[in-house]
Each structure stands twice: as structure tokens, then as C-alpha cells.
Structure 1
Amino acid sequence: MKGKEWYQADDVAQAYESKRFSRGGQLIDRREKRAVLDSLNPVTGADILEIACGTGRFTAMLAERGANIVGIDISDAMLAQGRRKARNNGVNDTLELLRGDAARLPFPDNHFDAVFAMRFFHLAETPGTFLTEMARVSNDIVFFDTFNHRSTRIIYNWLLPMGSHLYSRSQVKKLLSDAELAMVDDTHDFLLPYGFYRKIPNDLAHGFRDVDKSLGESEFGDALASVSYWTATVDTDSATTDTAETNLETSQHTPDGTVAADD
């Protein structure tokens, strides 16, 4: 079973993109980047954090488009690949890559305009903890993807156990609610599994992708899609209510009935 040790290995980091985003996998890379941009735009001048940034596919792309981007990852080997990519793309001075734990983000509340994670939640043992941290440091957008419980990923998990977590829509909505996030958009894609695209030449993959998108537009497309992209916003109404309740409780417990200020 793949875990933290596998993910942090030097050889895995070096071959990560060539194994997943070459051949027909180029279509996956393109679709994922489009999903990120659709959710986060406009990115120019925006302060953005990527959780589990890996080899920097998205951090470099966003830096090139003028974002103030920070990426955090647990793997030094992956971060080394990300820094190399940033240098090659001429954006190493406009992004920051840090080693850290996504469950304890080293940033103050409301620090970023947007926080996102790609290819992360299927391996997250405590998704609620991670999503709550993402919500805490964002003042607006939180974006992430999940693999779906009714998709062909079920077969993939059975054939090649990876510890991947598959989510239903109701589970995602519960996670969002618990993190005080409000869903604003969701899109679903790829009836054919990722592994299929990676095994075939890019030219051939385009034909299958056309069929895949056509099937995805049918009435059962969303239900059987392999991946979902979720866009949410910080629930300011809930935050305002919580703040008001906290202030009320504080005033009730101060001797003179005034609201005590933080030191």
C-alpha cells in the first residue's frame, strides 16, 4: 500500500509527472489545470496557497499568471522537483515552496484569497481536519477534488490497493458543512479511469476523450464520473454568528458587562 514513505522517495518524485502526465495523461494534466483556473480566476495579484503541491504543476502555472503563490508539501523530494520547475519556468522568485503539515498550516486566519488541493483528499486519513485548516487560512475560496464512490475507481482500488478514499456527494457536503464552508460549484468528469489514459498514446487518447465527454453529458454522467471538482467559499454568515455568540458569552462573563478585548 502506498503511503507517506512511498510518496517522499526520491525516485517517485523524479518520475511522478512522466508516469502520470505523459502519453494520454497529458489530457488529465490539461483538464486539472483548467479546473484550477476556472475555480480561482482571477488569479493575478491574488494570494493563493496550494496544499500538497507536489512537483509544482499548479504553483508554477499560477505564478506565471501573476498570482502570489505559496505551496506546501510533506515531501522534500517533491519540493525539489517543484523548485526545479520554478527555475526552468523563470518564476522561482515569485513563488514560495515550504515543507509542512497540511493538518497544522503555519499561517494566520484568513491569510489567503484562495486555498486549494489537488489529488490529495483520496489519500487523506482525516479529511475533515485538512479541510477545516484550509478554510481557516482562506478568506474566500477553497477548492479541491475527490474520487467518487460510484466510479470505475472502485475496480482500480480493488486491483491495486492504495488506501484511496472514495467520496459520495453527501460525504463531501458534510465535510464542507463541518468546516463552515458553503458550496458554490461542483463539476464532474472522466468516466474512463485515469489509468486508461496513461496507457495509450496522446493522439489516440483524444478520440476516447471525446467519447468520454459525450457520455459525461448524459443523465448518468455526473453519478458515474471518476473525479469531482468542488468549489466552496468561507461561510461568512456562520462566522459572523459564531463571533457574535462569542462576544455575547464574553460580555456575560466580564464583571462590568463590557466586552473584554484580546491582549
Structure 2
Amino acid sequence: MKGTEWYQADEIAEAYDDKRFSGGGQFIDRREKTAVRNALGPVADKEILEVACGTGRFTVMLAQLGADIVGLDVSGPMLAQGREKAQAVGVDDTVEFMRGDAARLPFPDDHFDAVFAMRFFHLADRPVTFLKELARVSAGPVLFDTFNLESSRVLYNWLLPMGSRLYSRQAVESLLADAGVDLIDATHDFVLPYGFYRSLPTRIARPFRKLDRAIGSAGGGDRVASVSYWVVE
């Protein structure tokens, strides 16, 4: 996996949310949480697995909505942040945070009602292996996102310390076929890359987000979106 050592550093975990999801980054956080809720539907009393759960943004949100959820991640410091969040809002009894390898999930087939992985496939060095594992342990939908090759993400990617895997539409279709899963739904967003929003205060980012959504909803907007959310079974 790209950036494994960087991702597991204590200082990265402690500053992760503030650096990415404050200011203009709030628009990213809201959109991603909407994508998760839309893909999974009602989650009350369902067993959910989040792979690459990081600091537990989605894990804790779904626990608050009534899910019985497991958050798995390779980073101990990230998991520690998640546990603190769960305890702070009183859902630590319905959340289990565990350290593990997404390529070898320690669960039987069809164990969960749904599985998802956000902010993961752009770092994956074995995307087919990972997607097969996510699908294996899910009796229902699997959600994941990609950063897209035919978008402004290409320019932003040059600035990243570890780079990202970018996917063309053809590459995603090939990934789904190789993993033996069927596409159920797909949505696309963010003509402007994430890094642009994170660099702006909320009041300045807001009109850009409005413009971004207008461009995205116009004809051909999906083709220039920098992020795609895929739901498969």
C-alpha cells in the first residue's frame, strides 16, 4: 500500500481530521457521508464493516444511526482516534475497532449486511484482491470510491508526497469484471480536486462548491468529476 508508514504515524492521525475536514474540507466530509448513507440505506440493527476506517468518521456516524459496525484499519494511531470519538458520543458499545489487513479479512463469507471502503482504492496496490475480499464478506452492497484519471486530479496528483492511483472508466470496468462483481450504482462529483477545498476557509469555499456542483450537473459533468462512488454486489 502507498504511504503505509506515513499513514501510521501518531502525528498524522492526531491532525488528520482537522487538516482535511475543517474549513472548505467540510464540503468534502458532508459529500462523502452522504455517499455512504445513500449507498447503505437504513442501517439500524444491520452489521456493517468499514475497511480503512481511519479516524472513524463514518464508523461513528453509522453507529449513531443504529448500526452494529466494525471498523478495520492498518494504523493503530488512527484506530485510537476512532475509539476516542466513539466513546465521546456514547456509541463505543456498538462499534469495534480492529487492526487488520484488507487483503485477508478475518471474517467468513457473507458475514456483513454491507461493506464499504472510502479513501482506500487510490492507495491500493492490489485493487482486485481488495475488492474480492470486500465482496466476499458482504451479503449485500459494497461501496468504494476512486479518484479519476480524466479529471483535474491529475494536476493535483503531482503535488502529493506519495501520489495516488487514478482510475479511468475502462480501468474501473476491468476491476469490477476481474473481481466478479456487478455495478449497482455510480455517482460522480468534485470537478475541483479535494486539495483545492482544503486550502480555503469555509466562506470562500462555499461559492466554489456551488459552481462545482453546477458544472457537475451539466451535460458531460460526470466525465470530468475527480471522484466517483461505486456500489457493487
If the length of structure 1 is used for normalisation, what is the TM-score?
A: 0.86
> Residue 38 of structure 2 aligns to a residue in which SS?
helix
Aligned counterpart, 1:254: none
Question: What one-letter code is carried by the residue in structure 2 that aligns with 1:197?
Answer: Y
Aligned counterpart, 2:109: 109
Rounded to whole Å, the distance in 2 between the matches of 1:200 and 1:134 is 35
Asked if residue 5 in structure 1 is aligned to residue 16 in structure 2, the reply is no
> Residue 144 of structure 2 aligns to a residue in which SS?
strand
Q: How does 1:44-83 map to 2 (within 5 A)?
A: 44-83=44-83
Aligned counterpart, 2:216: 216
Rounded to whole Å, the distance in 1 between the matches of 2:70 and 2:3 is 24
Aligned counterpart, 2:227: 227
CA deviations on 1:113-164 (whole Å, 9 max, x unpaired) are 1110000000000000000000100011010000000111111112334231
CA deviations on 1:85-104 (whole Å, 9 max, x unpaired) are 00111101111010000000
Rounded to whole Å, the distance in 1 between the matches of 2:96 and 2:72 is 8
Rounded to whole Å, the distance in 1 between the matches of 2:137 and 2:163 is 28
Aligned counterpart, 2:42: 42
Aligned counterpart, 1:192: 192
Question: What one-letter code is carried by the residue in structure 2 that aligns with 1:198?
Answer: R
Aligned counterpart, 2:86: 86
Unaligned runs of 5+ in 1: 234-263
> Residue 151 of structure 1 aligns to a residue in which SS?
coil
Rounded to whole Å, the distance in 2 between the matches of 1:229 and 1:160 is 22
> Structure 1 residue 81: deviation in Å?
0.2
Aligned counterpart, 1:15: 15
> Residue 122 of structure 2 aligns to a residue in which SS?
helix
> Residue 109 of structure 2 aligns to a residue in which SS?
coil
Report which stretch shifted further, 27-36 or 193-202. 193-202
Tell me which stretches of 4 or more aligned residues in structure 1 moved more than 2 Å. none
Aligned counterpart, 1:204: 204
CA deviations on 1:21-47 (whole Å, 9 max, x unpaired) are 000000100000000000001111111
Aligned counterpart, 1:250: none
Aligned counterpart, 1:168: 168
Report which stretch shifted further, 7-16 or 164-173. 164-173
Rounded to whole Å, the distance in 1 between the matches of 2:154 and 2:207 is 24
Unaligned runs of 5+ in 2: none
Report which stretch shifted further, 162-171 or 14-23. 162-171
Aligned counterpart, 1:157: 157
Report which stretch shifted further, 102-111 or 167-176. 167-176
Question: What one-letter code is carried by the residue in structure 2 that aligns with 1:171?
Answer: A
Report which stretch shifted further, 185-194 or 202-211. 202-211
Bigger-Rg structure (1/2): 1
Question: What one-letter code is carried by the residue in structure 1 that aligns with 2:28?
Answer: I
Rounded to whole Å, the distance in 1 between the matches of 2:158 and 2:14 is 27
- Aligned-residue Cα RMSD (Å) equals 0.9
Question: What one-letter code is carried by the residue in structure 1 that aligns with 2:114?
Answer: A
